[in-house]
Amino acid sequence: MERSSYNTSGFPEALAAVDAADVVVLFLGADQTTEAEGFDRHTLGLVGAQQQLLEQVIRAAASKPASTPVVLVLVNGGPVDVSTAVESDQVAAILEAFQPGELGADAMIDIMDGTSSPSGKMPYTTYFANYTKRYACAPLCMI
């Protein structure tokens, strides 16, 4: 399914997988169909039905008798608002993979299984989508 799709037909299968899982690894983000040079997004929100999927996966994982941790992996080029995941006790980790390249999958597995423990800083500051509503922001135009 395309990341930009609003199609939710695969949700029941995804939620059934959550019920059967000991740990949920959920990949979300944006690709060249939703962000690219000269094709910018107008919001920081997850594209398509991904926000809805994230919320439903978190709820399903939390509702199990033995609460299931969720690991969110972001594959994207620009900032994405994942405040729902940040504010959820159910999400045990968020891995920002950016556009990981050919060996990215191997690197992500090494990080998630503890083989590798890289450290570093984000190349940009990420904000929640409602940042300008939470804090007073003055226009910075030079006109």
Written as six digits, the tokens of 48 are: 């398509």
pLDDT at 39: 74
What tens-digit pLDDT sequence spans the chain (143 residues)?
Answer: 555 688 999 999 999 999 999 999 999 998 888 888 877 777 889 989 999 999 999 999 999 988 899 999 999 988 899 999 999 999 999 999 999 999 999 999 999 999 998 887 878 888 888 877 777 766 666 66
Cβ proximity of 3 and 29 under 8 Å: yes
pLDDT at 3: 56
pTM of the model: 0.86
pLDDT at 41: 76
Written as six digits, the tokens of 35 are: 């962000």
